[in-house]
């Protein structure tokens, strides 16, 4: 299980039958927050801002693709050390007045914006929005098609995902630490050039270059999950260039890594208890018909059995042990529509067939049937470990924090605490720090929070809306991760009105 602050939309997690947890903050930058007055790009950056994109067929009907250049290091642009930023669009379908580009981001960090655009946003966003906006996305630096971070081989990732993340003794603890060190070393060897330059601040600056080359005076943007942090960072850097920004499933940039991980642990407990209540109402709940505490204890007992004796998964090299099973359960908690799938997978696993939970875990990790992995987990670690100092200095810190994590979630607390050790061994020192993002002087920004969101707790949305100088909180009283486009007519109507007419929801609106 590797669920450190991996944050992305539910459509990517389950439909691609794939994201989850690692820390984020404002990242290091040589540029302080911009004033409310737009300023021209510095002379050294003008070649990037003035470049022309050449669009080509993507191979997916209706979509065009291009490649944008950005400086590897914004402190030293024009040095010849550039990164390639992959971009895709679907042009506005009309009729009606064209409103420019709408940039969308599915979260992560590490989620492919292009994959999200082609699989969902470019065809699944409301027709009225697609009619008036060019739907645009990009793979942020270090992700997928954009100078990707590469680390372990497929076989190496298979081993990494099976390491016991609830160590019972010194030997298991040492094995876990060794796995984090192996990942970090592999990333340094294969991606040392880009590792120091994949922060959220740098991705946000790339977004401003993209805004310019698309010909837009202001940035219109919908960011989900981690994408809210990316969008808020952009707004803080370039408040005068903010158009219509929707931040759905929001993060709180003031939280240091330890608090982010513990908050998210509590969020998954909240989501699990909602699942447990629903499961107990079903004719055949594999975890019993008791209250959520009893159901949770039954799941925890099952995980212990798998820790001692994994069950067959259909893949002889990857039996279903505790780590993969836990990841599979967490993946399904992102979206309540996956609860029936989770009940079936748990029932089968308890009867000796772990293939269902393994499939959920594979979707989470973006592992293909041929054993190859997308670079999701590598980019996730690279961005998060650069954005925030690590949660812990070593295993002793985890041991001390275990009681608080287990209080936050009796079921998932221990595993998520130990998973938070990852950035401790990262080869590049963090450049960011936890701090508020205010975007002083920006146009109205809509922040969306779901009350029982597993990955981005509702209190984060309230916090971000309060920090932003022009933030407006829109609340969805419900389950699952993020809210826009997930079945709430109230939420969708409010966001569509904002995107199409520029009218934000009334303060305090709940759906």
Banded model confidence at residue 163, pLDDT cuts 50, 70, 90: very high
Mean pLDDT, range 44-70, rounded to an integer = 96
Confidence check: pLDDT of 511 > 60 = yes
pLDDT at 37: 58
pLDDT at 58: 92
Q: How many CB atoms lie within 10 A of CB 507?
A: 10
The percent of residues in the chain predicted with pLDDT above 70, rounded, is 93
Give CA–CA dist 174/395, Å, rounded.
9
Asked if residue 28 has pLDDT above 80, the reply is no
Which whole number is the average pLDDT over 332-342?
Answer: 94
Task: Report how far residue 442's alpha carbon sits from residue 472's, in angstroms, rounded to the nearest whole number.
Answer: 12
Q: Please tell me which residue, 99 or 11, carries the higher pLDDT value.
A: 99
pLDDT at 27 over 90: no
Q: Residue 1: which pLDDT band, with cuts at 50, 70 and 90?
A: very low
Q: Which residues are catalytic?
A: 225, 453, 481
Average pLDDT over residues 444-473: 96
Is the Cβ–Cβ distance between 356 and 39 less than 8 Å? no
Span 221-237, mean pLDDT? Answer: 97
pLDDT of 377-433, one tens digit each? 999 999 999 999 999 999 999 999 999 999 999 999 999 999 999 999 999 999 999
Strand partners, 320: 311
Give me the residues paired with residue 5 across strands: 21
- Over residues 6-31, the mean pLDDT reads 37
- Looking at residue 13, its pLDDT comes to 41
pLDDT at 253: 97
Q: What is the mean pLDDT of residues 189-196?
A: 97
Q: State the average pLDDT over residues 487-507.
A: 97
Instruction: Measure the CA–CA gap between 493 and 485, rounded to whole angstroms.
Output: 10
Domains of the chain: 30-146+202-255+436-501 (3.40.50.1820)
- Whether 416 contacts 264, CB under 8 Å: yes
In 3D space, the residue among 308, 309, 286, 314 whose CA is nearest the CA of residue 298 turns out to be 286
Residue 458's pLDDT is what? 96
How far is residue 18's CA from residue 365's CA, in Å, rounded to a whole number? 6
The first and second tokens of residue 55, run together, are: 């669009």
Q: Tell me, what's the pLDDT at 79?
A: 79
Residue 483 CB contacts under 8 Å (≥ 6 apart), including other chains: 248, 249, 448, 449, 450, 474, 476, 491, 511
DSSP code of residue 367: B
Q: Please tell me the predicted confidence (pLDDT) of residue 78.
A: 81
d(CA 394, CA 181): 12
What confidence score (pLDDT) does residue 8 get?
52
Kindly tell me if the per-residue pLDDT of 310 is higher than 90.
Answer: yes
Confidence of residue 232 (pLDDT cuts 50, 70, 90): very high
How high is the pLDDT of residue 56? Answer: 97
- Of residues 289 and 446, which shows the higher confidence score? 446
Backbone angles phi, psi at 470, to 5 degrees: -120, 25
CA distances from 225 to 8, 13, 141 (A): 5, 12, 18
Rounded (10°) CA dihedral 404, 410, 411, 413: 0
18 band by pLDDT with thresholds 50, 70 and 90: very low
Instruction: Please report the pLDDT score of residue 197 as a whole number.
Output: 98
Query: Quick check: 28 and 429 in contact, CB under 8 A?
Result: no
Task: Please give the average per-residue pLDDT across 237-244, as a whole number.
Answer: 98
The percent of the chain in helix, strand and coil, each rounded to the nearest 5, is 45, 15, 40
Q: Which two tokens stand for residue 397?
A: 């810190």
> Mean pLDDT in the chain?
92
How many Cα atoms within 13 Å fall on the side-chain side of residue 78? 8
Q: pLDDT category, 7, cuts 50, 70, 90?
A: low
Mean pLDDT of 33-57: 82
- Sequence-ordered strand ranges (E) for 340-456: 445-452
Residues comprising the chain, all counted: 511
- Between 33-47, 107-121, 291-305, the lowest mean confidence (pLDDT) is in 33-47
On the CB side of 476, CA atoms within 13 Å amount to: 30
Q: Retrieve residue 40's tokens.
A: 């021209």
């Amino acid at each position: 299980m590797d669920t450190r602050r991996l944050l992305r939309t539910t459509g990517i997690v389950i439909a691609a039958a794939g994201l989850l947890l690692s820390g984020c903050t404002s990242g290091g930058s040589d540029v302080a927050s911009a004033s409310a007055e737009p300023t021209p790009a510095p002379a050294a950056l003008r070649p990037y801002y003035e470049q022309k994109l050449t669009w080509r067929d993507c191979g997916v009907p209706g979509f065009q693709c291009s490649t944008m250049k950005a400086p590897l290091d914004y402190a030293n642009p024009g040095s010849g050390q550039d990164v390639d930023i992959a971009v895709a669009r679907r042009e506005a379908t009309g009729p009606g007045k064209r409103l420019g580009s709408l940039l969308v981001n599915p979260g992560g960090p590490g989620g492919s914006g292009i994959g999200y655009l082609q699989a969902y946003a470019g065809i699944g966003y409301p027709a009225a929005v697609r009619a008036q906006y060019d739907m645009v996305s990009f793979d942020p630096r270090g992700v997928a098609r954009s100078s990707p971070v590469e680390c372990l081989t497929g076989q190496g990732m298979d081993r990494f995902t099976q390491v016991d993340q609830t160590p019972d003794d010194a030997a298991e603890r040492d094995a876990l630490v060794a796995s984090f060190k192996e990942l970090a070393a592999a990333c340094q060897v294969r991606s040392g050039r880009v590792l120091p330059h994949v922060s959220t601040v740098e991705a946000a600056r790339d977004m401003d270059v993209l805004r310019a080359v698309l010909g837009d005076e202001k940035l219109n943007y919908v960011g989900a999950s981690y994408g809210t942090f990316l969008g808020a960072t952009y707004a803080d850097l370039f408040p005068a260039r903010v158009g219509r920004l929707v931040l759905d499933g929001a993060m709180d940039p003031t939280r240091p890594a330890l608090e982010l991980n513990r908050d998210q642990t509590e969020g998954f407990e909240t989501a699990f208890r909602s699942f447990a209540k629903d499961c107990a109402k079903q004719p055949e709940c594999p975890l019993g018909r008791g209250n959520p505490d009893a159901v949770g204890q039954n799941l925890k007992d099952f995980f212990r059995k798998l820790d001692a004796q994994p069950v067959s998964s259909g893949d002889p090299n990857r039996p279903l042990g505790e780590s993969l099973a836990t990841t599979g359960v967490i993946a399904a908690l992102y979206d309540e529509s996956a609860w029936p799938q989770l009940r079936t997978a748990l029932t089968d696993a308890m009867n000796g067939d772990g293939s269902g939970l393994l499939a959920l875990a594979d979707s989470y990790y973006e592992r293909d049937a041929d054993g190859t992995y997308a670079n999701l987990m590598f980019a996730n670690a690279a961005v998060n470990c650069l954005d925030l100092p690590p949660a812990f200095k070593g295993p002793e810190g985890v041991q001390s924090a275990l009681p608080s994590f287990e209080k936050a979630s009796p079921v998932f607390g221990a595993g998520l605490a130990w998973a938070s050790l990852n950035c401790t061994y990262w080869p590049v020192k963090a450049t960011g720090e936890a701090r508020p993002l205010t975007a002083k002087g920006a146009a109205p920004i809509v922040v969306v929070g779901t009350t029982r969101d597993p990955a981005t707790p509702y209190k984060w949305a309230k916090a971000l809306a309060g920090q932003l100088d022009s933030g407006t909180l829109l609340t969805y009283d419900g389950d699952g991760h993020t809210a826009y486009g997930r079945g709430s007519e109230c939420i969708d109507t409010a966001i569509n009105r904002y995107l199409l007419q520029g009218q934000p929801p009334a303060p305090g609106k709940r759906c």
